[in-house]
Amino acid sequence: MSESIKHKIEELSKKIEEHNYRYYVEAQPVISDYEFDKLLEELIRLEKEHPEYIKPDSPSQRVGGQITKEFKAVKHKYPMLSLGNTYSEEELSDFDERVKKVIGTDYEYVCELKYDGVAIGLTYKYGMLVQAVTRGDGEKGDDVTTNAKTIKSIPLKLRGHDYPEEFEIRGEIFMPRKVFDEINKEREEIAEPLLANPRNAAAGTLKMQDSAIVAKRNLDCFLYAMYAEHLPYKNHFDSIKAAKKWGFKTSEFMEKSSDIHEVFNYINKWDTARNNLKFDIDGVVIKVNSYEQQRNLGFTAKSPRWAIAYKFKAQRVSTLLESISYQVGRTGSITPVANLKPVLLAGTTVKRASLHNADIIEKLDVRIGDTVFVEKGGEIIPKIVGVDKTKRHEHSHKEHFITHCPECGVKLIRIEDEANHYCPNESGCPPQVKGKMEHFVGRRAMDIDSLGSETIAQLYDTGLIKNSADIYELKKDDLLKLERMAEKSVNNLLAGIEASKKIPFERVLYAVGIRHIGETTAKKLAYYFKNIDSIKNANLEQLLEVGDIGETTAKSITDYFAESKNSVLIEKLRQHGVQLELSQEQLVNASDKLKGLSFVVSGVFSKFSRDDLKKTIEQNGGKSVGSISGKTSYVIAGENMGPEKLKKAEKLGIPILTEDEFIKMIEN
């Protein structure tokens, strides 16, 4: 029986990694995301039941869960030098002349895209990933192996057998534009500061302590350079082609060029075509192909003489600022928007650009009628970066930020230490009310897919709904009187509303739209307090006992429930049968046994995954924290517990539990 289970785990692992390769490297998936998730769920279940068969290269390791408190500095075996940069074709021609002087005219270049991400070096021994190190200062970098393993385009085990016994392959970890946009959309919904650009987002994600969060960020990786004592190929191009066979994601846009003129053609093509990519690039890298010629050319103190990076100039245009309008978001945040004379920028026509907040307007001294310079921040969001004051009209007037809401007329407020102004009229300001309802019915919240933004606006404008609870009071006869509302669509809408009453409590908590409460925080609150009334009655100190709840979030919760209108909304939802407490099924393994206790989890466990262990702590009222302090109640220690954590726990006299002792604590 055990051999059968072991065989099934091995076969599932092979099948999942094959689908990973087809999806991330070949870009030719043969099964749906749903089917892939089901295979992974089955593997995780079998490994949980039979932990003795878990291997370091199992696909289940990509879901993360390990905590890295400190990233160890590692010396690079091969220094990770930076490339010389240029913005001009003349300097590229000079580079070409220097190459000719050393190696003659019998050579070729390889042209590649210059990815705008985070440089990484991956070391493999006998086909297994053993270490991932960031560039750092070029001599030493940070060991981010645990987080790199969550990136599905980085193979944990190589395909084939013709790779070197030990080698390093380097590349760039990046965040795809779609992922970046989705994260910022969610952050905007919960009034968190937006990520600046995909590159910074990738860098920040790679250094997160919780690898489970890294896994959810869906980072990607292109590999573009190999290093070893003895490489099996004589040139760079053939090495990278072979790397793809071994399971690495390499660029389909790499090309060989026989002379500098073909290099210029490649650059000119991608200066325009980059706008159609799903990831960011900021230039092109040109390398001499032959390894022997690379050795002959050698290095300067800082960079190789056989390679150079041509960086694209920031795409900037000037146009007329015709007016400034002010938008009101779901949370009441006021965003000034520059309305521009339409202008072509990076392949799209730009008519509007964000001015962000009052401080930016003041800093740029931007005025209506100015000629302004516009760039695309991170190649995505148009932004005004300056003013051509030589063209400013002598009678222009300084722009003053509005003092009252443009939608409802209520006086704006500005919270100390925050950049934005807010409209405090949450229940009477139309964009805020509509925005809250759109959030409430969203796919990750109450999931009423028949209620789009246009339908909500129509229902609000006709007076049928004024808040989220009113959605449950809609009547068929009233809906049929509206435009574009036929009987079938009305029936679908009402069925969707009825079905939403079964949405679990943690999603309802996210749906009501408490500022700073995202999906993860809502789930932690739900499992800690078990029902909405306990959250409502909790004071700041009690809220701060919940993992990852800080003072800003805790105050936001108490402020929300201090408003009588919000309590009325919750009561209406209760009357309509919406889930405002954990279900019986969710409560089966839940209790208050660990209330007031905090736990640090360290090591590898046989009966729990680290995530499941933390979830069990939270389900039973405890708090899972990442680092040991004098306030820590217990440390749960598995195999290979970090020696520094063990030393600190012993020094502070914190009790250390085995996995079985923790289980007995729960059972008793």
- As given in the structure block, the two tokens for residue 57 are 């290269």
Please state the rounded mean pLDDT for residues 348-364. Answer: 88
Do residues 475 and 551 share a domain?
A: no
Q: Give 518 or 225, the one with higher predicted confidence.
A: 225
592 is a domain residue: no
- For residue 379, pLDDT over 50 is answered with no
Among 414, 444, 464, residue at a domain's last position? 414
- For residue 330, pLDDT over 50 is answered with yes
Predicted confidence at residue 377, as pLDDT, reads 55
Q: pLDDT tens, 541-570?
A: 999 888 668 888 999 999 999 999 999 999
CATH code for the domain in which residue 462 is found:
1.10.150.20
- For residue 64, pLDDT over 70 is answered with no
Task: Count how many domains the chain has.
Answer: 6
Do residues 162 and 224 share a domain?
A: yes
Q: pLDDT tens, 599-642?
A: 888 877 777 777 778 878 887 878 887 778 888 899 998 877 77
582 is a domain residue: yes
In a 3-state reduction of DSSP, which class is residue 111?
Answer: strand
Please state the rounded mean pLDDT for residues 286-312. Answer: 92
Q: pLDDT tens, 201-247?
A: 898 899 888 888 888 889 999 999 999 988 999 999 999 999 999 99
Predicted confidence at residue 306, as pLDDT, reads 96
Do residues 552 and 526 share a domain?
A: yes
AA identity, residue 100: K
Predicted confidence at residue 469, as pLDDT, reads 96
CATH code for the domain in which residue 143 is found:
3.30.470.30
593 is a domain residue: no
Q: List, in order, residues 6 or more apart from 281 with CB less than 8 Å away.
A: 113, 114, 115, 116, 270, 274, 312
Q: List, in order, residues 6 or more apart from 643 with CB less than 8 Å away.
A: none
The answer to whether 110 touches 287, Cβ cutoff 8 Å, is yes
CATH code for the domain in which residue 408 is found:
2.40.50.140
The answer to whether 131 touches 76, Cβ cutoff 8 Å, is no
The HSE-up count of residue 77 (CA atoms within 13 Å, CB side) is 16
CATH code for the domain in which residue 59 is found:
1.10.287.610
Q: Point out which residues pair with 599 in neighbouring strands.
A: 624, 634
The answer to whether 616 touches 666, Cβ cutoff 8 Å, is yes
Q: Point out which residues pair with 86 in neighbouring strands.
A: 310
Percent helix, strand, coil in the chain, to 5, is 40, 20, 40
Q: Point out which residues pair with 75 in neighbouring strands.
A: 140
Do residues 194 and 250 share a domain?
A: yes
Q: Which of 376, 399, 397, 407 is nearest to 314 (CA)?
A: 376
Catalytic residue among 100, 114, 572, 614: 114
Among 252, 278, 311, residue at a domain's last position? 311
Q: List, in order, residues 6 or more apart from 100 with CB less than 8 Å away.
A: none
In a 3-state reduction of DSSP, which class is residue 137?
Answer: coil
Q: Point out which residues pair with 290 in neighbouring strands.
A: 235
The answer to whether 156 touches 221, Cβ cutoff 8 Å, is no
Alpha carbons 319 and 323: distance in angstroms, whole number: 12
Predicted confidence at residue 233, as pLDDT, reads 94
- As given in the structure block, the two tokens for residue 62 are 């990509």
CATH code for the domain in which residue 630 is found:
3.40.50.10190
End-to-end CA distance of the chain: 33
- For residue 97, pLDDT over 70 is answered with yes
The answer to whether 345 touches 405, Cβ cutoff 8 Å, is no
Do residues 145 and 224 share a domain?
A: yes
Tokens 């073909």 sit on residue = 262
Do residues 117 and 200 share a domain?
A: yes
In a 3-state reduction of DSSP, which class is residue 598?
Answer: strand
Q: Which of 522, 108, 528, 568 is nearest to 293 (CA)?
A: 108
Q: pLDDT tens, 169-179?
A: 999 999 998 89
87 is a domain residue: yes
Structural domain range at position 338: 316-414
Q: Give 240 or 63, the one with higher predicted confidence.
A: 240
Do residues 236 and 334 share a domain?
A: no
Please state the rounded mean pLDDT for residues 54-58. Answer: 81
Lowest mean pLDDT among 118-122, 187-191, 273-277: 187-191
Q: pLDDT tens, 273-290?
A: 888 888 989 899 999 999
The percentage of the chain sitting over the pLDDT mark of 90, rounded to a whole number, equals 49
Do residues 101 and 238 share a domain?
A: yes
In a 3-state reduction of DSSP, which class is residue 468?
Answer: helix
Predicted confidence at residue 210, as pLDDT, reads 81
422 is a domain residue: no
Distances (CA, A) of 75 to 79, 139, 204, 373: 8, 6, 21, 43
The answer to whether 263 touches 315, Cβ cutoff 8 Å, is no
- For residue 378, pLDDT over 70 is answered with no
Do residues 545 and 623 share a domain?
A: no
**Average pLDDT, rounded, for the chain:** 88
Distances (CA, A) of 39 to 3, 4, 8, 45, 58: 20, 17, 11, 10, 13
Q: Give 283 or 313, the one with higher predicted confidence.
A: 283
Confidence of residue 596 (pLDDT cuts 50, 70, 90): confident
Among 63, 81, 116, residue at a domain's last position? 63
- For residue 653, pLDDT over 80 is answered with yes
Predicted confidence at residue 91, as pLDDT, reads 93
Alpha carbons 378 and 269: distance in angstroms, whole number: 20
Do residues 381 and 450 share a domain?
A: no
- As given in the structure block, the two tokens for residue 119 are 């440089």
Q: Give 647 or 64, the one with higher predicted confidence.
A: 647
Please state the rounded mean pLDDT for residues 322-342. Answer: 91
Q: Which of 161, 321, 179 is nearest to 247 (CA)?
A: 161
In a 3-state reduction of DSSP, which class is residue 321?
Answer: strand
Do residues 98 and 21 share a domain?
A: no
The verdict on pTM exceeding 0.85 is: no
Confidence of residue 588 (pLDDT cuts 50, 70, 90): low
Lowest mean pLDDT among 70-74, 255-259, 294-298: 70-74
Predicted confidence at residue 347, as pLDDT, reads 64
Alpha carbons 111 and 267: distance in angstroms, whole number: 9
> Strand 73-75 to strand 140-142: parallel, antiparallel, or no bridges (unpaired)?
antiparallel
488 is catalytic: no
Please state the rounded mean pLDDT for residues 130-155. Answer: 92
164 is a domain residue: yes
The answer to whether 652 touches 633, Cβ cutoff 8 Å, is no
Question: How many residues are listed for the chain in this entry?
Answer: 668
Cα dihedral 286, 289, 292, 296 in deg (nearest 10): -20
68 is a domain residue: no
Q: Give 471 or 417, the one with higher predicted confidence.
A: 471
Confidence of residue 189 (pLDDT cuts 50, 70, 90): low
The answer to whether 561 touches 536, Cβ cutoff 8 Å, is yes
Predicted confidence at residue 645, as pLDDT, reads 79
Predicted confidence at residue 312, as pLDDT, reads 87
424 is a domain residue: no
- For residue 1, pLDDT over 70 is answered with no
Do residues 142 and 208 share a domain?
A: yes
Predicted confidence at residue 30, as pLDDT, reads 81
Please state the rounded mean pLDDT for residues 188-195. Answer: 70
